[in-house]
Amino acid sequence: MRTPRRPSASVPEAESPAYNGPPVEPRFLTAQQFLITTLVFKIAIMALLATMLVRYRRFRHILIFERRGILDRGILAFSLGIPLIAGVAARILLRYDAADLSLEGSFLVGLIAGPYAGAMVGALTAVPAMIASEWGALPFAVGCGFAGGGLRELCPKEAIWHFSPFVFSALPRRIWTMARRFQVDWQFVLVLAPIALELVRQAVGTRFHENRLFYLDAPSPWLFALMLVATVLCVATPIKIWNNARIEHRLHEQENLLLAAKIAALASQINPHFLFNTLTSISSLIRSQPETARMVVHRLSALLRRRLRDPNHFVSLREEIEAVDEYLDIEQIRFGPQLRVRKQIDQRALDVLVPSMILQPLVENCIKHGLSRKVGGGTVTLRVERLADAAAVEVVDDGLGMSEERLETAFNDGIGLSNVSERLRVIYGARSTLRLASTIGRGTTVRFEIPDIVTEERASA
């Protein structure tokens, strides 16, 4: 039986010249303790390596998407292969057995990226072992890579990401299920595979000795079983860590889809609201002012064509103001000279992306509730100011205004204000809030800010 390597013992303080007491014998780890320590460190090293790699965006991208090209497989193989080479070299040069993860690493990469990537990692890890005359290292490590890749080709891909050593906790039930349904339990197969490879390594190492193929020798049956469990955990732990990253990515995608659906629902709520109000105005003009009604219909059709032509939920502020101009053309036809419009636009803000149809409901609200009942009409002022990291937008009217009691319930009583407020909250959170200020007899001001976001992903939501 091979004697496990032990770390050198440090001289205790009791043996220093200043110590006058009885001599203290140096303490060494027993063979069992040393093997257990080695197995624990193997699992810890594999977990640390998996955690470090998953922090890189490129590596995470390769894990998330199952369709991987040759370049992606090469990147994954070298990302894991180079640290594993260093581990084998550390085992040979520093006599640190826990760093040798050639079996687990080759099998893991084959299982995740396919047989050729696994074989590549196996060949890389065998280089320092071959230099040290361990001639069995190359065929064994490459074989581990092909074994992992072969399982990947056979079993469902999602079964790999559910790899767990706890399959043995329900072993009788799983065996009964396989026998009753004549189905392969892939979790059972995936766990048995690294155990079988470890048994092969033990058999070959025992037959040809350590100088031909490295292996850990267990001095007792229970330690041998523990060593097999550690081999499985060295494969299962990185898969668990990487699967968590995949789940986080999917949850993020689902959140984006939910956000897009919510924004689309709010936008579709605005379009009928505007359309019904305009059609009501047209119906009131048909008998008394048929020519005016015809012009309103023409303007309305132009505005609807714009909306149908541009399905994006985000547009530039320039495009949004152009859409508001078309809406104001319709209203000015209805109200004539009683409706006046002023614009104070900072040209530097025109390229800022804003939610589509965010201004029109506010302008419509000013006209409908602030100016339509005011004798002599009034003015709607649109102000846009460029700030350091945002665009500030104000829609101001000099209409009837609102009382404090009415102001408190303004967001609950109508579709326009509540819809715009909710869209801003959903898209920007606390960074953009709709603020409303009003004085009876002097008018109302609505203000909000649009941060310079908008990332391409969010803009195309």
Residue at which a domain ends, from 252, 271, 294: 252
Could you tell me if 165 and 240 lie in one domain? Answer: yes
Residue 258 domain-assigned (yes or no): no
Residue 150 domain-assigned (yes or no): yes
444: domain CATH number is 3.30.565.10
- For residues 136 and 377, which has the higher predicted lDDT (pLDDT)? 136
Q: Count of H helices and E strands in the chain?
A: 17, 7
In this prediction, residue 9 carries a pLDDT of 43
Could you tell me if 242 and 296 lie in one domain? Answer: no
Could you tell me if 154 and 293 lie in one domain? Answer: no
Could you tell me if 332 and 205 lie in one domain? Answer: no
Could you tell me if 300 and 247 lie in one domain? Answer: no
Residue 263 domain-assigned (yes or no): no
Element (H, E) at 256: helix 221-285
pLDDT tens digits, residue range 226-268?
Answer: 999 999 999 999 999 998 888 888 888 777 766 666 656 655 5
**CA-to-CA distance for 237 and 170, rounded, in angstroms?**
20
Could you tell me if 96 and 213 lie in one domain? Answer: yes
Could you tell me if 148 and 67 lie in one domain? Answer: yes
Residue 21 domain-assigned (yes or no): no
To which residue do tokens 């009583």 refer?
413
Q: What are phi and psi of 392, to 5 degrees?
A: -95, 130
Residue at which a domain ends, from 202, 230, 252: 252
Number of domains in the chain: 2
> b/e per residue, 407-445, with b = 16+ CB within 10 A?
beebbeeeebbbbbbbbbeebbeeebebebebeeeebbb
Structure tokens at 16: 């220093």
Could you tell me if 247 and 290 lie in one domain? Answer: no
Residue 274 domain-assigned (yes or no): no
Could you tell me if 193 and 303 lie in one domain? Answer: no
Could you tell me if 358 and 424 lie in one domain? Answer: yes
In this prediction, residue 115 carries a pLDDT of 92
| Mean per-residue pLDDT, 442-454 | 84
| Mean per-residue pLDDT, 210-222 | 85
In this prediction, residue 259 carries a pLDDT of 65
Could you tell me if 446 and 336 lie in one domain? Answer: yes
SS3 state at 30? coil
3-state SS of the chain: helix, strand, coil percent to 5?
Answer: 65, 10, 25
| Mean per-residue pLDDT, 39-55 | 92
Q: What is the pTM of this model?
A: 0.61
Residue 259 domain-assigned (yes or no): no
* Residue 313 one-letter amino acid: H
- Helices 186-208, 102-113: inter-axial angle, 10-degree rounding: 150
pLDDT tens digits, residue range 5-30?
Answer: 544 444 444 444 554 555 545 556 78
Could you tell me if 151 and 193 lie in one domain? Answer: yes
Q: Which residues are paired to 395 by β-bridges?
A: 382, 446
For residue 224, the enclosing domain spans: 30-252
Residue 281 domain-assigned (yes or no): no
pLDDT grade, residue 210 (50/70/90)?
A: low
List the one residue out of 226, 169, 231 whose CA is nearest residue 195.
231
**CA-to-CA distance for 97 and 94, rounded, in angstroms?**
9
Q: Determine contact, residues 189/162, Cβ cutoff 8 Å.
A: no
Alpha-carbon Rg for the chain, nearest whole angstrom, is 36
Q: Determine contact, residues 299/326, Cβ cutoff 8 Å.
A: yes
In this prediction, residue 6 carries a pLDDT of 45
Residue at which a domain ends, from 237, 252, 267: 252
pLDDT grade, residue 67 (50/70/90)?
A: confident
Residue 397 domain-assigned (yes or no): yes
Q: Determine contact, residues 112/160, Cβ cutoff 8 Å.
A: yes
